[in-house]
Amino acid sequence: MRKRLLLISNSTNYGEDYLEWPRDYIRDFLNKTGVRRVLFVPYAGVALSDEGLEESFNAYEERVNRVFNEMGFEIYSIHREKDPVRSVKDALAIAVGGGNTFHLVYMLHQLRLMKAIKEAVEEGLPYMGWSAGANIACPTMRTTNDMPIVEPENLGCLSLVPFQINPHYLDAPVEGHGGETREQRIEEFMVINNNVYVGGLREGTLLSVEDDKIELLGKRPFRVFRFGQSPREFNPGDNIDFLLGN
C-alpha cells in the first residue's frame, strides 16, 4: 500500500489566519485521496479553553473544522469516539494537530493509539500533522521544543519516517536570550543519538512523503543535521530521498 504523509512545520505564520499558509497543500493532499471526511486528533491542544481539557479538545475540533469546511472537507475528533482504536481502523484519513507534544504522546500511548495509527498509515491511511503532529511521525519525540507538562509512558512515536524533525526550526539566537540556540540543542541530541538524521523544518515549510519519495514544499530551505558532519541546507526541488534511507 502507498504511504502518504504531509508533515507541516507550523499551523500559522505571523499575521495570518489559522492554517492559512498550508491550505493549498492540505487541499491538494486530500483531493488526491478522494477523502472528504478526516479523523482529527486534538490531544496536543491542552490550553484552548479555560474550562478544562475536554473543552479544549472541543474548541480545537471546532477551530480546525471551520478551516476544513472552507476547503470542502469535514473533520471529526477522536476524543468523541467511544472506541478510539476502532475509529483509526475505520478512518479514511487522519490529521494530528499541534500543541504540546508531551501530552499528545501521553494520550496516544494511554489509549493504545500509537500502534493503531502506525499500522493504519503503513497500510495506506493518509496522514497529515502539523507541529507536534509532524514530530510524532518520527521514531521518537525527542526533538520537540515543548515543555514536559506530563510524563508519557515512553518517548517512542510512530516511526513513519526514519529521521527526526525539529518543527519551528530557528537559526538565530533570540536577542537578549543567553540559553542554547536550536542548533546547539540538536547537536546535544546527536551526541547521544549519532546515527540519526535531524531535519530543522522552518516555519512555512512542509515535507510530503509518497512511498519512498520525499519532497520539501514551501519557500524556505530545510536544514539537515548528522553527527560528525556540518549541517546542510536543502531548497525546495532538491533531492532529499536519502532521508528515507534511499
Q: What is the pLDDT of residue 181?
A: 85
What is the C-alpha end-to-end distance of the chain, expressed in Å?
18
Angle, alpha carbons 216-158-160 (nearest 5°): 40
Find out whether 19 and 12 touch, Cβ atoms under 8 Å: yes
Q: How many CB atoms lie within 10 A of CB 142?
A: 18
CATH code of the domain containing 209: 3.40.50.880
Could you tell me the residue range of the domain that residue 41 belongs to?
4-244
Cell of 101: 507534544
pLDDT tens digits, the chain, 246 residues: what are they? 689 999 999 999 999 999 999 999 999 999 999 999 999 999 999 988 888 898 999 999 999 999 999 999 999 999 999 999 999 999 999 999 999 999 999 999 999 999 999 999 999 999 999 999 999 999 999 999 999 999 999 999 999 999 999 999 988 666 666 567 889 999 999 999 999 999 999 999 999 999 999 999 999 999 999 999 999 999 999 999 999 986
Q: How far apart are CA 26 and CA 31, in angstroms?
A: 8
Q: What is the pLDDT of residue 52?
A: 87
Q: What is the pLDDT of residue 48?
A: 82
Domain count, the chain: 1
Q: What is the pLDDT of residue 24?
A: 97
DSSP string, 114-146: HHHHHHHHHTT--EEEETHHHHTTSSBSTT---
Q: How many CB atoms lie within 10 A of CB 50?
A: 7
Give me the phi and psi of 235, to 5 degrees please: -100, 160
Find out whether 157 and 138 touch, Cβ atoms under 8 Å: yes
Cell of 11: 499551523
Coil, helix or strand at residue 143: coil
Q: What is the pLDDT of residue 178?
A: 59
Coil, helix or strand at residue 18: coil
Catalytic residue among 9, 56, 131, 208: 131
Q: Could you confirm whether 212 is annotated as catalytic?
A: no
Q: Could you confirm whether 146 is annotated as catalytic?
A: yes
Q: What is the pLDDT of residue 95?
A: 98
Q: What is the pLDDT of residue 194?
A: 92
Q: Give the DSSP letter of residue 51.
A: T
Specify the amino acid at residue 158: L
Q: Could you confirm whether 168 is annotated as catalytic?
A: yes
Catalytic residue among 83, 146, 230, 241: 146
Radius of gyration of the chain (CA): 17
Catalytic residue among 49, 109, 159, 168: 168
